[in-house]
Amino acid sequence: MKKRSYNYRRIKIHRNYTVEGIASLFDIHKNTVGVWIKEGLPTTDKKRPMLIQGRDLATFLQTRRLKNKKKCNPGEMYCVRCHAPSTPAGDMADYQPVNEKMGNLMAICFRCHSIMNRRVNLAKLEHVFGKIIITLPPALLHIADRNQPTTNSELEKVKKIC
């Protein structure tokens, strides 16, 4: 899902905005501004009408944009060298358990061939890495058929055992 980006350069940093004012500035529903406030957009006080400082709004949207940019989509891992989410080469990754629930997923960046790491929750592994073939460490391999690449149904078995 592509997130809409807001042109925060339209914001006058020395101005105070009402929720309605921000909504009309970006041509969005005021409920969206309400969500931003819940997400941490600072308001001047709790009184009505609630005011938001232009400077706070600009900072909030900039930070939010950076966060969105770095977020990996399913099947992606963040590559430190590329400074961007990337896809594992050959759609393959190695899973190293850290504890019963968490582990490190290691893969090679398809662009620059450097190693990427991502901390993953075992329960979410198949949801996040749907089409990627995940190799389990030898300690967990006895569960799966050694001659077959690990499939989601085998991961299901691993989860039950862990």
Q: Which of 41, 108, 109, 136 binds Zn ion (CB under 5 A)?
A: 109
Count CB-CB contacts under 10 A for residue 158: 19
Closest CB 74 distance from Zn ion, rounded Å: 18
Q: Binding to Zn ion (CB under 5 A): which residues in 79-98?
A: 79, 81-82, 86
Stretch that binds Zn ion, among 56-64, 69-77, 109-117, 128-136 (CB under 5 A): 109-117
Residue 86: C-alpha distances to residues 41, 76, 100, 101 (Å) = 30, 5, 27, 24
Stretch that binds Zn ion, among 26-34, 57-65, 72-80, 123-131 (CB under 5 A): 72-80
Residue 153: C-alpha distances to residues 53, 127, 150 (Å) = 52, 12, 8
Closest CB 116 distance from Zn ion, rounded Å: 7
CA distance 20 to 33: 8
Footprint on this chain of Zn ion (rule: CB under 5 A): 79, 81-82, 86, 109, 111-112
